[in-house]
Every structure is written in structure tokens, then in C-alpha cells.
Amino acid sequence: MSIQDFIRNEVTSNDVVLFMKGSPQFPQCGFSGQVVQILDHIGVPYKGLNVLESLELRDGIKQYSNWPTIPQLYVKGEFVGGCDIVREMFQAGELQSMFKDKGLATTTVA
């Protein structure tokens, strides 16, 4: 399976996927850590994929989304954005309503 197929499979078979540096328990980059905090605060279940474990994944994800940096958040197979966009959407309440609109359970009320 090519790295692009692997990525496509991950983002389509998991509702919420965060390609990050480190893991949700141990983020190894400030920007990845910020997105983890936001997702944990909202309380939506998500899968963390550590790009530091594979250079092929780390480069492959950037080609897949045509986005040069990590972290990258995917919801229902769609690229949502990196740290800036996720934080901006969270502050505007758009992230919470997006999860609600896509039928994804969250613990905080939008």
C-alpha cells in the first residue's frame, strides 16, 4: 500500500484524524499540542498519528493535502486545517458546530 493510500484509508475510516508530531498523550511540538488541547477540550474522539515515526508519512501527508506543515486535522476525510485555522475556528465556535453538523459527539455544548 502506498503512503498516499495509507493516508486516504486513515482519513476515510476514522471520523477525526490528527496528523501530529508526537502523540495526544505526549505532543512533541507546540502547535500539535495546541490542537490536542482544543480537541480534548471539545471532547470529540479522534485518532492521533505521529508523523515523527515515519519520514515517508511526514512528507506524504504534506503532498496529500498540499499543506507544508504539521499538525493537520481531518474530519470525515476532509482537510480542515493546521494549528492556526483550527484555533481560529475554535475561537469562533465554528469547530464545535462543524462536529455537531457532521454528527460527531462532543462533550462540550456548541
Partner 1 sequence: MAMDAGEIERLIKAALPDADVTIRDLAGDGDHYAASVVSASFKGKSRVQQHQIVYQALQGQMGGKLHALALQTGTPEG
Q: 10 to 69, contacts with partner 1 by CB under 8 A? A: 31, 62, 66-69
Residue 69 in contact with residue 32, Cβ under 8 Å? Answer: no
- As to burial, measured by CB atoms within 10 angstroms (0-12 exposed, 13-18 middle, 19+ buried), residue 71 is buried
Residues that contact partner 1, how many (by CB under 8 A) = 15
- Cβ atoms of 86 and 73 within 8 Å: the answer is yes
Is the CB of 43 or the CB of 77 nearer to partner 1? 77
- Comparing CB distances to partner 1, the nearer of 55 and 109 is 55
Instruction: Give the strand order in the sheet containing 72-75.
Output: 47-50, 16-20, 72-75, 78-81
List the one residue from 3, 52, 85, 98 that touches partner 1 (CB under 8 A). 85
Binding segment for partner 1 (CB under 8 A), chosen from 3-11, 16-24, 82-90, 100-108, is 82-90
Q: List residues near partner 1 by CB under 8 A.
A: 31, 62, 66-69, 79-85, 88-89
